[in-house]
């Protein structure tokens, strides 16, 4: 069920510390479209989660006369939510050897997930535990780094149903710079414009998620430049962000993924306080 889009590991050194650092740099991708569990199978997978996190999944199975109160209305939404949670716990277990039931994953006020290091802190534990999940369409993924900030975003290139590609993209002009807009609208077809738009959007989301800024960050402040979508660089408020690197992946014909990797000093305050090393 799982497909790796990228996986980097450092050579293992001596002791738990070296093992943890090396194993904390991962890129995992799961094709949830191939997983069609029965209700019993879904419940069994959810039971792998530690008890304190199960209610977040189970509460969406109860029937309700107020469906708009249910966050995960469709089966696909429930699958993505469950796999996203399982990937976080699997990463911590894989890297640090901690049992699932002892792992505590919290969120900042802006919604950035982080490992609560006050629970079962390993001796000598002094590296960052940055990770980020994303899910859309058929895929759920996680990216992690032992020092740098990391953001992952997955997009599904879905064609608008009741408007043209240009009309759809027009809804997002306030989030794009003039340069990005010109690159999008000069694509050779409507499908090309849509793909170009999602490439820029995917990169912007990955950066914002890496810093922990959340939805309040002005995406129009970010301007991306590239050479045929390689050597991708970022300008923030017109100034080049030299401490950041970006990668863009084509998963399949309908899905893209991007990874942003940058210096911990660029994390927002609430997220920076969760880091061990920001120098």
pLDDT value, residue 8: 38
Strand partners of residue 27: 143
Strand 2-3 to strand 26-31: parallel, antiparallel, or no bridges (unpaired)? antiparallel
What is the mean predicted confidence (pLDDT) over 259-271?
A: 93
User: How many other C-beta atoms can be found within 10 angstroms of the C-beta atom of residue 20?
Assistant: 22
pLDDT-based confidence at residue 86 (cuts at 50, 70, 90) = very high
User: How many other C-beta atoms can be found within 10 angstroms of the C-beta atom of residue 271?
Assistant: 24
pLDDT value, residue 55: 78
Q: Is the pLDDT of residue 14 over 60?
A: no
Task: Answer whether 141's CB lies under 8 Å from 152's CB.
Answer: yes
Collapse the DSSP code of 150 into the 3-class scheme (helix H, G, I; strand E, B; otherwise coil) and give the result.
Answer: strand
Please state the φ and ψ torsions of residue 172, each to the nearest 5 degrees.
-115, 15
pTM: 0.86
pLDDT-based confidence at residue 3 (cuts at 50, 70, 90) = very low
Interval 112-124: pLDDT, tens: 999 887 655 555 5
Tokens at residue 44, please?
């069994």
Residue with tokens 């039971």, as numbered in its chain: 47
Please state the φ and ψ torsions of residue 273, each to the nearest 5 degrees.
-65, -15
pLDDT-based confidence at residue 213 (cuts at 50, 70, 90) = very high
What is the mean predicted confidence (pLDDT) over 256-270?
A: 94
pLDDT value, residue 147: 87
Task: Answer whether 30's CB lies under 8 Å from 45's CB.
Answer: no
Which domains does the chain carry? 4-152 (3.90.470.20), 160-250 (3.90.470.20)
pLDDT value, residue 24: 82
Q: Is the pLDDT of residue 128 over 80?
A: no
pLDDT-based confidence at residue 232 (cuts at 50, 70, 90) = very high
Interval 169-188: pLDDT, tens: 999 999 999 999 999 999 99
């Amino acid at each position: 069920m799982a497909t790796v889009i990228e996986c980097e590991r450092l050579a293992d050194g001596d002791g738990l510390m070296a093992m943890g650092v090396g194993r904390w740099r991962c890129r995992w991708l799961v094709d949830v479209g191939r997983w069609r569990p029965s209700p019993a199978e879904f419940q069994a997978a959810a039971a792998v989660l530690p008890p304190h996190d199960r209610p977040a999944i189970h509460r969406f199975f109860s029937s309700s006369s107020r469906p708009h109160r249910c966050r995960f209305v469709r089966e696909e939404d429930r699958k993505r939510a469950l796999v996203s949670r399982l990937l976080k716990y699997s990463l911590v277990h894989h890297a640090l050897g901690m049992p699932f039931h002892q792992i505590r994953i919290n969120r900042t006020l802006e919604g950035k997930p982080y490992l609560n290091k006050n629970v079962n802190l390993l001796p000598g534990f002094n590296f960052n535990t940055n990770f980020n999940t994303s899910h859309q369409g058929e895929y759920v993924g996680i990216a992690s780094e032992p020092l740098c900030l990391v953001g992952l975003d997955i997009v599904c290139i879905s064609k608008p149903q009741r408007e043209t590609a240009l009309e759809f993209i027009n809804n997002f002009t306030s989030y794009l710079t003039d340069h990005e807009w010109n690159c999008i609208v000069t694509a050779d077809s409507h499908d090309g414009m849509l793909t170009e738009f999602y490439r820029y959007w995917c990169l912007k989301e990955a950066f914002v998620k890496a810093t922990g800024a959340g939805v309040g960050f002005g995406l129009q402040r970010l301007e991306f430049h590239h050479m045929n979508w390689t050597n991708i660089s970022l300008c923030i408020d017109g100034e080049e962000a030299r401490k950041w690197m970006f990668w863009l992946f084509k998963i399949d014909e309908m899905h893209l993924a991007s990874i942003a990797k940058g210096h911990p000093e660029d994390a927002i305050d609430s997220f920076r306080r969760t880091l061990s090393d920001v120098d």
